Structure 1
Amino acid sequence: MAKRFYPDHPIHNLLKERILILDGAMGTMIQGYKLSEEDYRGERFADHPGELKGNNDLLCLTQPRIIEEIHRAYLEAGADIIETNTFNANGISMQDYQMVPLVYEINLAAARLARAAAEDFTARTPEKPRFVAGAIGPTNRTASLSPDVNRPGYRNVNFDQLREAYYEQVRGLMDGGVDLLLVETVFDTLNCKAALFAIEEYFEQTGRSVPVMVSVTIVDASGRTLSGQTLEAFWISISHANLLSVGLNCALGAKEMRPHVEELSRIAPIYVSAYPNAGLPNEFGGYDQTPEEMAALLEEFARSGFLNIVGSCCGSTPEFTRRIAEAMEGKPPRRLPRVPEYSQFSGLEPLTVRPDSNFINVGERCNVTGSRKFARLIREGKFEEALEVARQQVENGAQILDINMDEGMLDSREAMVTFINLIASEPDIARVPLMLDSSKWSVIEAGLKCTQGKSIVNSISLKAGEEEFKRQARLARRYGAAVIVMAFDEQGQADTAERKVEICTRAYRILTEELDFPPQDIIFDPNIFAVATGIEEHNNYAVEFFEATRQIKATLPKALVSGGVSNVSFAFRGNNP
């Protein structure tokens, strides 16, 4: 994934100078028009089957004047950035209205409406350019959780379906002329990763790109997303993407959101946004907070140095935008912090490897080739019992779980997906990062598509040559994963320290210099090999591993080294739990 920091984009200079104002709620404003079913249908959809009232995105086609009026009201109130009316304009959500074929057209029309309003206001005051952000909502399904409590491994949407739906939405928004893309109200990080994957895919295939923003929703005081991740784990999971900003919106009012915005402003080395609801909903589902009250709370955020972009969400109106803009006058924007570049991984919770960290323990018993008990349970389809193997490892101190389903009698891909989906339903297991272990890339990729955290690919190597190595590394990066790189090239596995270091150095240079792969996301496995075989030429394998590790740590900055300690004693008879 190529770096795109957009230093020449005009929004960068503005973000350095002041806090930018994002608009407010679209839905709240639409409700004020008290539109009927006939208004939603317009002439074009008068005979459409099914109810259309509530399909706010459709109004871009049937009531464009109303949508443009709302955009103009927010611009008049002081918004620097307005969002397109496309929160649900994707192929997943539009299934509810039997309008999937209209996704591209709705997004195109929405972007053009916002673009026209923004250009008009920019022309009036060229010194204050306005920007259009293409709004990309979370869909009404979650890829990380089952909708059926009795079937925890079931999903009603998968990564590829989300990716395809988001791609079509992005295509319409980009063709309509948006300045930015905003993936917002994220409640499931896997959905978000699918959106980011689709965006990067579109950028690569078309050669066109714009800055990307992400905004997550923390559902309650626990500080977690609906799919269970902590805020830091969420950030680690999406940090591979080249983002303009990351922030929070919806679910909480400004008061409740404050500690989470503070945390994000501390850990994210990019711009931070916040657009809270107008307080918490009352017993009727309405919002009672006044524009003045929200503006005062957000002014304190600014004084504390938390904000680069600020706006409002559910329950807000242009008057909220006006008061917020007034409150931000003269307030300096948050300065981007320098964050140490440590190796970081995530399940529901974060795992950071610092220079002073002890060994990181990887549980390897969820491996059909290394555990007779686990292999039997998987072959017999007893996945629930197999989960206990994972749970015991976490309870006993495993900080990462290695999952391997490579067995000739198994459908490895299906077994990997089933097991990972079941892990996701067990928070006490899912809190740790996963290591997806297979000799088949298709199995690893299937695992990446159902893992919301930042996992580790085990493994890639130069065995099949540089092009395949680079292809797999690029994909791992696009999925947001770190990689284990085996000391294995076209000539075979390295068994001497010299060969191990030679291969790892070559791989490191390809990854960091050609692919811009972060060195802290590279983990080298210099091959311990079995040392208890009794064969004389094997006696020095451990020493060769130690020497290779010493040289790798000295010459390949920030990269980690892993060793399969099981290989030291793999040949001992009866040692096959």
Structure 2
Amino acid sequence: MQSRALVCDGAAGTQIQAAELTAEDFDGLDGCNEYLNLSRPDVIADLHRRYLEAGADVIQTNTFGAIRYVLDEYDVGDKLEEISAAAARIAREQADRFSTPERPRFVLGGIGPGTRLVTLGNVSFDDVVESYRAAFIELIRGGADGLLIETLQDLLHAKACLIAVAEAMEEEGRALPVFVQVTMEQTGTMLMGSEIQAVINAVSAFPYVVSLGLNCATGPEEMVPHVRALSKHWPGLISVQPNAGLPVMEKGEAAYKLTPDELATFHHRFVSEFGVSLVGGCCGTTPKHIEAVAEAVAGLTPAKRDAIEPLVGLSSLYQFQPYDQSPSFLIVGERTNANGSKMFRELLAKEDWQALTEMAREQEREGAHVLDVCAAYVGRDEVKDMDRLLFEFARQVTVPIMIDSTEVNVIEASLKRLPGKPVINSINFEDGDTRTEKVLTLCRKYGAGVVGLTIDEEGMAKTKERKVAIADRILEWTRRFGIPDEDVFIDALTFTLGSGDAEFRTA
């Protein structure tokens, strides 16, 4: 994909609709396209065949809605594994039929966003992980060459899907290329309001993602600024699969008017100007569109992107927040902390979630770049409180969150509520390495930065030599877990002279 742009297939739903299938073809489950893997495998095989004949290098499994809670809407959630296995088998057989030593054909095991969003509370984080993991395991076993999460509308949902992918690959003992495609609406953001820079920053925290790209919602013209941003800031491969333009209503149905040649012209530009490596189509595209695209990019080498500008910082659901705030500095708001704010504690005791959220928004208005959130309050359930607080904050606060807790279970519950890339406060060696190892495992799994305190088994470091020694030990551990140095903050626990304690004058 670095030496030659690959061509992916186009719309599946459009082709299935064109097949004019009856309710009997779906075994009475009209609209459940994934069930056709079982009831009409010949139809799905023919769909793959037509795209391969058109020149596609890559085909996607018919598993867009292979999600247990989606299939439950048709009362076939218990068939998730069977449906996914069949989809992988059908695609693999067709790809192998068209493969040659000179031109192999590939299968992407792809799953869409489902019908519910984690950030809105329509489905739990754990339910998403369970369902996607089960499907991806079958796609891996069935011979997929790579795994795709597509048409993503919610960054928190994306995070759950990525964890599911990692767990599936670990369970099967196979590391496959992982592709992520988000959907940017005509508003210029994802459905939940995420800017493309927030997407790039958040996904960058998962090193097994080899490709980030766009699909659905709009045509290629509307995707240009987002493709440009990916080309500038995303260090990995880029994929683009637009709709055949914006739909227009004709006789009560959506019609897509972008011609094959028009799509091909845009993809030639995406490859030659922005370095896109995987091109294809989404809603409204047909084998004719893919044939034109394949001809347009044949032998085309993706443009080199030598001046990548990584987005170093954190992100919320909505926006990217750089660590470097020159000529100022990164400001962390600390009023949303039960240990430091009497008002926060009182509102927490009343469970006045709206007032607590307003406290967070007030800090944001006053210029805080990150909000430190701590709900540790004697006599209360910290996991429950953080879960509810961050459910509100994630949707109503635009700056990233610093999770402030000493409890590993609280930290993990918090990470399951936060879209984007947060930071954890904190790790130290007061009780040895055990807790640090657990927290860094969570940082790697969920994609988070971390604060390290210069404290070890002997207590808080009071000399510069011990502070540096403990800081080196912290970095040794974070590097072991693959946490980039730029995502590690060392808190040297310095005391002002105004503290009045002679013991800490040199600390």
Give the TM-score taking structure 2 as reference length.
0.96
Contact 2:386 2:410 in 1 (8 A): yes
The one-letter code sitting in structure 2 at the alignment partner of 1:277 is N
* CA spacing shift, 1:161–1:485, aligned 2, 3 Å: same
Residue correspondence of structure 1 range 132-531 to structure 2 within 5 A: 132-145=107-120, 155-220=121-186, 222-241=187-206, 242-283=208-249, 284-340=253-309, 343-347=312-316, 348-354=318-324, 356=326, 358-426=328-396, 429=397, 431-512=398-479, 514-529=480-495
Partner of 1:7: none
* CA spacing shift, 1:302–1:538, aligned 2, 3 Å: closer
After TM superposition, give the deviation of residue 217 of structure 1 in Å.
0.2
Contact 2:130 2:164 in 1 (8 A): yes
Aligned pair partner of 1:111 in 88, 98, 103: 88
After TM superposition, give the deviation of residue 477 of structure 1 in Å.
1.7
Partner of 1:11: none
Deviates more, 1:485-494 or 1:103-112: 485-494
Contact 1:240 1:478 in 2 (8 A): no
Q: Distance in 2 between matches of 1:78 and 1:275?
A: 15
1:56 equivalenced with 2:33 (yes/no): yes
Deviates more, 1:354-363 or 1:267-276: 354-363
CA offsets, 1:66-98, max 9 Å, x none?
100110110110001100000000112112111
Contact 1:266 1:337 in 2 (8 A): no
Contact 1:193 1:479 in 2 (8 A): yes
The one-letter code sitting in structure 2 at the alignment partner of 1:508 is L
After TM superposition, give the deviation of residue 365 of structure 1 in Å.
0.1
1:77 equivalenced with 2:42 (yes/no): no
Aligned pair partner of 1:130 in 105, 114, 136: 105
Q: Distance in 2 between matches of 1:439 and 1:116?
A: 51
Partner of 2:11: 25
After TM superposition, give the deviation of residue 307 of structure 1 in Å.
1.5
Q: Distance in 1 between matches of 2:77 and 2:305?
A: 40
After TM superposition, give the deviation of residue 352 of structure 1 in Å.
1.4
The one-letter code sitting in structure 2 at the alignment partner of 1:224 is T
Where 1:327 maps in the other structure, the secondary structure is helix
After TM superposition, give the deviation of residue 510 of structure 1 in Å.
2.3
Deviates more, 1:320-329 or 1:291-300: 291-300
Contact 2:315 2:420 in 1 (8 A): yes
Q: Distance in 2 between matches of 1:139 and 1:235?
A: 22
After TM superposition, give the deviation of residue 532 of structure 1 in Å.
4.2
* CA spacing shift, 1:536–1:467, aligned 2, 3 Å: closer
Contact 2:200 2:311 in 1 (8 A): no
Contact 1:269 1:337 in 2 (8 A): no
After TM superposition, give the deviation of residue 356 of structure 1 in Å.
4.6
* CA spacing shift, 1:257–1:93, aligned 2, 3 Å: same
The one-letter code sitting in structure 2 at the alignment partner of 1:323 is A
CA offsets, 1:357-384, max 9 Å, x none?
5310000000111010111011101110
After TM superposition, give the deviation of residue 331 of structure 1 in Å.
2.6
Q: Distance in 2 between matches of 1:107 and 1:466?
A: 41
The one-letter code sitting in structure 1 at the alignment partner of 2:336 is C
After TM superposition, give the deviation of residue 342 of structure 1 in Å.
6.2
Where 1:228 maps in the other structure, the secondary structure is coil
Contact 2:336 2:360 in 1 (8 A): yes
After TM superposition, give the deviation of residue 495 of structure 1 in Å.
2.4
Deviates more, 1:224-233 or 1:466-475: 466-475
Aligned pair partner of 1:39 in 5, 15, 25: 25
Where 2:2 maps in the other structure, the secondary structure is helix
After TM superposition, give the deviation of residue 355 of structure 1 in Å.
8.7
Contact 1:341 1:520 in 2 (8 A): no
* CA spacing shift, 1:364–1:239, aligned 2, 3 Å: same
The one-letter code sitting in structure 1 at the alignment partner of 2:200 is W
Counting matched residue pairs gives 502
Where 2:179 maps in the other structure, the secondary structure is strand
The one-letter code sitting in structure 2 at the alignment partner of 1:317 is T
Contact 1:342 1:353 in 2 (8 A): no
Contact 1:247 1:274 in 2 (8 A): yes
Contact 2:133 2:168 in 1 (8 A): yes
Contact 1:271 1:336 in 2 (8 A): no
CA offsets, 1:222-250, max 9 Å, x none?
32111111001011011122222110000
Q: Distance in 2 between matches of 1:17 and 1:275?
A: 19
1:87 equivalenced with 2:64 (yes/no): yes
Q: Distance in 2 between matches of 1:535 and 1:162?
A: 52
Where 2:216 maps in the other structure, the secondary structure is strand
Q: What RMSD in Å do the two structures reach over aligned CA positions? A: 1.6
Q: Distance in 1 between matches of 2:116 and 2:501?
A: 56
Give the TM-score taking structure 1 as reference length.
0.84
Deviates more, 1:367-376 or 1:469-478: 469-478
The one-letter code sitting in structure 2 at the alignment partner of 1:169 is A
CA offsets, 1:445-499, max 9 Å, x none?
1111010110001112223322432232022121011011111222222222222
* CA spacing shift, 1:535–1:465, aligned 2, 3 Å: closer
Contact 1:144 1:188 in 2 (8 A): yes
Point out where structure 1 has 5 or more consecutive residues left out of the alignment: 1-14, 42-50, 146-154, 545-577
Contact 1:342 1:520 in 2 (8 A): no
